[in-house]
């Protein structure tokens, strides 16, 4: 019963208004949709592969940005990131603070998203039109 109430609350809050769901709302959705991984905090297991798992999460969460890198899906919004990774029996879903996930997966995320939740890396879809991206390497010409 508690799971149904949490799911209803998460769906109601995600569906209402234009604001993005809070981390707690996303966590409630993940708790009701996937099996919690008892060996890892903020981690869930899905029996489906990465793409359908990430698509289902994105449908409910409506992330501000999303990209695929090395068979993993990363979705961000505000102060958190949801990451979906391939596993032998489906996929693994992780939810954590923006900076923690970015630091943990820097080689994958660093080229897309900067150190701040409001910045984008040199390959990010909003890097060139927001002024929020960080400067990449290369010669100093034009910087």
* Residue ranges covered by each domain of the chain: 36-124
Euclidean distance between CA atoms 64 and 62, whole angstroms = 7
CB 77 within 8 A of CB 29: no
Q: What is the pLDDT of residue 133?
A: 42
Q: Exposed, middle or buried: residue 33 (CB in 10 Å: 0-12, 13-18, 19+)? A: middle
Euclidean distance between CA atoms 80 and 95, whole angstroms = 7
Q: What is the pLDDT of residue 109?
A: 87
CB 99 within 8 A of CB 79: no
Q: What is the pLDDT of residue 66?
A: 93
Backbone angles phi and psi of 4, in degrees to 5: -65, -40
CB 123 within 8 A of CB 112: yes
| Contact partners, residue 93, CB within 8 Å, separation at least 6 | 30, 34, 43, 44, 45, 46, 53, 57, 82, 83, 84
- DSSP H helical ranges for the chain: 2-15, 23-33, 50-61, 98-104, 106-109, 127-130
Q: Which two tokens stand for residue 104?
A: 């943990």
pLDDT, averaged per 10 consecutive residues of the chain (143 residues), comes to 44 51 93 95 96 96 91 91 96 94 89 80 56 45 48
Q: What is the pLDDT of residue 11?
A: 46
Q: What is the pLDDT of residue 113?
A: 85
Q: Which two tokens stand for residue 109?
A: 């995320």
């Amino acid at each position: 019963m508690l799971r149904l109430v949490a799911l209803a609350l998460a769906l109601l809050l995600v569906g209402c208004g234009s604001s993005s769901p809070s981390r707690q709302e996303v966590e409630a959705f993940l708790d009701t949709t996937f099996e919690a991984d008892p060996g890892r905090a903020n981690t869930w297991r899905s029996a489906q592969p990465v793409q359908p798992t990430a698509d289902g999460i994105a449908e409910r969460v409506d992330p501000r940005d999303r990209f695929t890198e090395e068979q993993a899906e990363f979705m961000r919004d505000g102060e958190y990131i949801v990451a979906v990774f391939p596993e032998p029996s489906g996929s693994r879903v992780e939810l954590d603070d923006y900076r923690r996930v970015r630091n943990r997966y820097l080689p994958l995320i660093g080229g897309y998203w900067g150190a701040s939740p409001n910045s984008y890396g040199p390959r990010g879809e909003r890097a060139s039109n927001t002024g929020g991206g960080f400067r990449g390497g290369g010669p100093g010409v034009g910087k």
